Amino acid sequence: MTGTLPAIGCTNTPVLKERGQREVFCGLTGIIWLHRKMQDAFFLVVGSRTCAHLLQSAAGVMIFAEPRFGTAILEEKDLAGLVDAQAELDREVARLLSRRPDIRQLFLVGSCPSEVIKLDLHRAAERMSAAHAPHVRVLNYSGSGIETTFTQGEDACLAAMVPALAHSEARALLIVGALPDVVEDQALALLAAMGISNVRCLPARRSADAPQVGENTVFALVQPFLGDTHAALLRRGARHITAPFPFGAEGTTLWLQAIATEFGVPQALFDAVIAAPRARAEKAIAAARKTLDGKSIFFFPDSQLEIPLARFLTRECGMTALEVGTPFLHRDLLAPELALLAEGPVISEGQDVDKQLARARAARADLTVCGLGLANPLEAEGMATKWAIELVFTPVHFYEQAGDLAALFARPLRRRALLAPLAPRMEAAE
């Protein structure tokens, strides 16, 4: 852990709220990691050809013999055609399920086109669940770009699952957020070594392993963008364990410590369990810190990971945050993060892209974290950038990934340092 804890950090920093044009992917993007995580689920996007193209291009080459997502394309229909659209959707789903007995959970995912917004997908999901029970449960959520930014698709999906979870009075820990299996296994192994049993995950890898929930469930979030899921779990009577998020050696330690305290794990046992992985994490971070130390960073709002990452990069990697933008600031979830983040950066919520670009150009941070659409123009102006979307596609949680997380930020700076001596020669050759 670096430095002394600031008393309140950015807790009381005034937030610059912007509500202008924003440049982010929509919530359909979450399907790309969710369909890998939930092995017997299928995501049927009810949308337009644009949605189909987004999924196909963002997901890249299909690595499964049988894909686990698809798009039911809804062409222009007048209101009278909506009855047909419901029947068409029923037929489409019946065809899919008869062909694919491996599907146990089906998500109808809403999108932007007005024809889709007029369709009542919630009623459609209820009707289909009744028709295909008990083999398949059908749920719905929206991935529309009007309502969601790219990580909110996962939040909407998990929040839709919560009301359908079975009730249990048993004392249990629920880990909430889709992690790559190998990372999830590392976290479960650490908790098991501390003697914490009855630990379940949302989402589960298979629907048969879906967690149960009730008044004796406590839950810990691994992602800061799960505000709706957090609210849905509270409505089921579960209690949230508030903690910083498990990014970096410090964040992981504090996240585990909050759970260990809740379950009465003796401090000596806790320290013994984390000692070796924490030391590995600190060593791996130190290697990237050589590049990051003393550098400045500017975050555009993309994933809602920005505040925890700024905390990690400033406290463990020696960086200075100039602006930390987030699409939404969920104070209940981020209070421990804001308290750890030292005063100094502008904290902004929402986006007015032109104004923010002007601030980024004026700041000229050593590294700017932004979406794909902004990265190329900024690179052309000589600024080093990091694509925000990589942060959700790369395993970055917990001790064993802490070095990789720091390296993700160090890489563009190293690349720029290597290219710098070549730049005058390249200009002369032009």
Residues 399, 381: contact at Cβ < 8 Å? Answer: no
Q: Among positive and negative, which fits the CA dihedral 223, 228, 229, 235? A: positive
Quick note: the x/- pattern for ligand SF4 over 72-111, rule CB under 6 A, is ---------------------------------------x
| Residue 24 binding ligand SF4, by CB under 6 A | no
Nearer to ligand SF4, 50 or 168 (CB): 50
Strand 239-240 relative to strand 137-142, pairing: unpaired
Rounded to an integer, what distance in angstroms lies between the CA atom of residue 178 and that of residue 176?
Answer: 7
Which of 370, 412, 327, 393 is CA-nearest to residue 15? 327
Quick note: the x/- pattern for ligand SF4 over 230-269, rule CB under 6 A, is ----------------------------------------
| Residue 48 binding ligand SF4, by CB under 6 A | yes
Least spacing, CB of residue 73 vs ligand SF4, in Å = 11
Rounded to an integer, what distance in angstroms lies between the CA atom of residue 133 and that of residue 419?
Answer: 59
Q: Which stretch binds ligand SF4 (CB under 6 A): 47-55, 73-81, 180-188, 326-334?
A: 47-55
| Residue 346 binding ligand SF4, by CB under 6 A | no
Q: Which stretch binds ligand SF4 (CB under 6 A): 141-149, 182-190, 332-340, 395-403?
A: 141-149
| Residue 28 binding ligand SF4, by CB under 6 A | yes
Rounded to an integer, what distance in angstroms lies between the CA atom of residue 206 and that of residue 129?
Answer: 18
Chosen residue from 9, 145, 308, 336 binding ligand SF4 by CB under 6 A: 145
Please name the residues in contact with 193: beta carbons below 8 A apart, sequence gap of 6 or more. Answer: 273
Rounded to an integer, what distance in angstroms lies between the CA atom of residue 425 and that of residue 137?
Answer: 62
Map residue 351 onto helix, strand or coil. Answer: strand
Least spacing, CB of residue 147 vs ligand SF4, in Å = 9
**Residue count, binding to ligand SF4 (CB under 6 A):** 12
Nearer to ligand SF4, 246 or 371 (CB): 371
Least spacing, CB of residue 19 vs ligand SF4, in Å = 18
Chosen residue from 44, 54, 254, 317 binding ligand SF4 by CB under 6 A: 54
Least spacing, CB of residue 48 vs ligand SF4, in Å = 5
Least spacing, CB of residue 233 vs ligand SF4, in Å = 26
Peptide bond before residue 203 is cis, with ω within 30 degrees of 0 = yes
Rounded to an integer, what distance in angstroms lies between the CA atom of residue 86 and that of residue 112?
Answer: 17
Least spacing, CB of residue 200 vs ligand SF4, in Å = 31
Chosen residue from 32, 44, 106, 143 binding ligand SF4 by CB under 6 A: 143
Nearer to ligand SF4, 9 or 30 (CB): 30
Measured at the alpha carbon of residue 423, what is the angle toward residues 417 and 428, in degrees to the nearest 5?
165
Least spacing, CB of residue 113 vs ligand SF4, in Å = 6
Residue-by-residue DSSP string for 51-79: HHHHHHHHH-S--SSS-SEEEEE-----T
| Residue 50 binding ligand SF4, by CB under 6 A | yes
Segment (H or E) for 323:
strand 320-326
| Residue 303 binding ligand SF4, by CB under 6 A | no
Least spacing, CB of residue 12 vs ligand SF4, in Å = 36
Q: Which residues pair with 152 in a beta bridge?
A: none
| Residue 144 binding ligand SF4, by CB under 6 A | yes
DSSP 424: H
Least spacing, CB of residue 265 vs ligand SF4, in Å = 44
Please name the residues in contact with 109: beta carbons below 8 A apart, sequence gap of 6 or more. Answer: 28, 31, 43, 44, 45, 46, 47, 140, 141, 142, 143, 153
Q: Which residues here bind ligand SF4, judged by CB under 6 A?
A: 26, 28, 47-48, 50-51, 54, 111-112, 143-145
